[in-house]
Structure 1
Amino acid sequence: MTSAVERRLADAGLEVPTVPAPVAVYVPAVRTGSYVYTSGQLPLSAGELVATGKVGAEVTPQVAYDCARQSALNAIAAVKSVIGDLDIVVRVVKATVFVASTPDFTGQPGVANGASELFGVAFGDAGQHARSAVGVPVLPLDAPVEVELVVEVA
């Protein structure tokens, strides 16, 4: 059975992918009590990074926004991998978006909107969340974006 969350994503032309395999020694997500914490999710699609490099240099803000959106889809997939039914998500509590960027790039919040807006599409009002958008010098595999997620579940 397809969840209401997955139907909303499908209406937007998106689907929850298979959770990407970890690139090191960790699990994609962990449930403890009423919360699911994801590991950082990269913008992987079909096993390949959507883009590589730094935002403000090799990667444009628009491509980085798209990477944040893909990373968010992967975070949703990680959540689904431990709870099965995305309709038991009560609320997206916190998203942390890391943006590998040049020292002069200050548009991290705009890049992070790629993830935040996707959570709104997927979860409606329950997708409104606290967020940090952090500029960093480098991310794993030279990815431009990484997204972590905390959700509350029923």
Structure 2
Amino acid sequence: MSWSARLSELGIPLPDVAAPVAAYIPAIRSGAHVFTSGQLPFVDGSLAASGKVGAEVSPEEAKQYARIAALNALAAVNGLVGIDAVVRVVKVTGFVASAEGFTGQPAVINGASELLGEVFGEAGTHARSAVGVAELPLGAPVEVELVVEVSTTVG
């Protein structure tokens, strides 16, 4: 089964590629890998939420925003090489705008990791960093970036 068919089976539409908010591109290919820029939880062109996790945003909400950000990262991959070119997810880096004393970053970024597991199965198993930060662009609660291996026969 193709990854696009798997997404369809799960009822998960890929969003449009989020427009960059500064001087960068959403994704770039180098050899057999695609690196995405950090993706925020944009839904239909608007930031889904703002604030720090553990204060204005609950960890449970932030986990859903991490899922959205990961979906936006997949859209960036799809826009560059097509989602079906993905061989495996290599690395996820998640940033969590954290209120003082909040230490649940790994559970928040599980939202991204769990989505990738749903879509890619074993090929979605990845290395990961979950980092707490003071601020993120536009006041976003989370940001996610991906590194995926892609087929060398594509583009």
Range of TM-score over shorter length = over 0.9
Q: Deviation of residue 34 (structure 1)?
A: 0.3
Give the AA of the match of 1:72. Answer: A
Of 28-37 and 6-15, the range deviating more from structure 2: 6-15
Give the AA of the match of 2:3. Answer: V
Q: Deviation of residue 6 (structure 1)?
A: 2.5
Instruction: Specify the alignment match of 2:9 in structure 1.
Output: 11
Instruction: Specify the alignment match of 1:54 in structure 2.
Output: 52
Give the AA of the match of 2:7. Answer: L
Residues 6, 15 of structure 1: 8 Å contact kept: no
SS at 2:50's partner residue?
coil
**Normalised TM-score (structure 2):** 0.94
Q: Deviation of residue 103 (structure 1)?
A: 2.0
Q: Deviation of residue 52 (structure 1)?
A: 0.4
Instruction: Specify the alignment match of 2:148 in structure 1.
Output: 151
- Alignment map for 1:1-154 (pairs within 5 Å): 4-84=2-82, 86-154=83-151
SS at 1:117's partner residue?
helix
Question: What 5-or-longer segments of structure 1 have no aligned partner?
Answer: none
Give the AA of the match of 1:39. Answer: S
Of 11-20 and 28-37, the range deviating more from structure 2: 11-20
**Normalised TM-score (structure 1):** 0.95
